[in-house]
Amino acid sequence: MHKRKLGNSDLEVSAIGLGCMGMSFSYGPPKDKQEMTALLGAAVDRGVTFFDTAEVYGPYLNEELVGEALAPFRNQVAIATKFGFDISPNSDPRGMKGSPGLNSRPEHIQEAVEGSLKRLKVETIDLLYQHRVDPNVPIEDVAGAVKELIQAGKVKHFGLSEAGVQTIRRAHAVQPVTALQSEYSLWWRKPEAEVIPTLEELGIGFVPYSPLGKGFLTGKIDENATFDSSDFRSTLPRFTPEALKANQALINLLGAIAQRKQATPAQIALAWLLAQKPWIVPIPGTTKLHRLDENIGAVSVELTSDDLLDIDDAAAKIAVQGARYPEKLEQMTGR
């Protein structure tokens, strides 16, 4: 597996990481713990060294799973986790019912980190993200709190998720930001306008989540797909039958290039991301070994400058339909 450095930092990780959320949260009921433990071990065997979790996934279940499964490989891997939601018994972490339940007050960050350290079975968190920007807490206070945790040896690197460029700049001025994690793929290219140039200027790495469009870019989901109410996608405008049908043009494009390259649509989508910048590390999630192997295989897919031009030209003619989140969740991004 090729390695990449996240921005100007010394955090070097596998070119493709593993998003672990779906093992415990968002895509139906939690998966079998033994199977997921085996999958995480298999990922390490295949050279994956970058694993992504968060306290809100479960809540807590995913951190516990990742911590236990990766304990034997602790010195070989980097684990990223996140704080920023209020996961008290009465809160609603997804913001589906009442308030969004954000909490990035410095004292809450300290508490969250203590919990994450225990669940992950580590003495230091490799990369700690603010999960969503909290409009009630100045980002300088958040960055300052993480800076103290870094000085105390409890955290190595600071990250932000779905933050806007002004927030990134203000945070970076207090405590250098190692990575931004935000959605980015062939069907969500908004970061190209302002975010990616800002990251390049400041020397910050980029970790795209949902690099396969929550499964859509694998080519395995069409307008007849149905999603159980426990599947987060059942709430997303982009996963209505109408949007899925309209967006099929993007799958046709990936399929055509995949045929030419003797690859799969998912591998082309990931290879396209890897080709954008040398400091981009996508974190596709999966619960299946054959998908893990497929995703890792994207590292070997060479896209030439002509291939990239072809993809861009064709993609420019496709208007992706449907918002990526319901309005309430979209409001929590880009702040």
The lowest-confidence range among 115-129, 190-204, 219-233, 258-272 is 219-233
Domains of the chain plus CATH, in order, are 3-215+276-301 (3.20.20.100)
Q: Is the pLDDT of residue 99 over 50?
A: no
Q: DSSP alpha helices (H): ranges in the chain?
A: 33-45, 61-70, 106-120, 139-151, 165-174, 195-202, 241-246, 248-261, 265-276, 289-297, 305-316, 327-330
- pLDDT digit string, tens, across residues 189-217: 999 999 999 999 999 999 999 999 999 99
Give the burial class of 246: count Cβ atoms within 10 A of its Cβ; 0-12 exposed, 13-18 middle, 19 or more buried: middle
Catalytically active residues are 57
**Terminal-to-terminal C-alpha distance of the chain:** 35
- pLDDT digit string, tens, across residues 271-321: 999 999 999 999 999 999 999 999 999 999 999 999 999 999 999 999 999
- pLDDT digit string, tens, across residues 229-263: 999 999 999 999 999 999 999 999 999 999 999 99
- Res 294: pLDDT: 98
Measured from the Cβ of residue 58, the count of other Cβ atoms closer than 10 Å reads 21
DSSP 298: G
- Res 117: pLDDT: 98
- For residue 196, give the nearest of 215, 219, 220, 179 by alpha carbon: 179
Q: Is the pLDDT of residue 95 over 60?
A: no
- pLDDT digit string, tens, across residues 25-73: 999 899 999 999 999 999 999 999 999 999 999 999 999 999 999 999 9
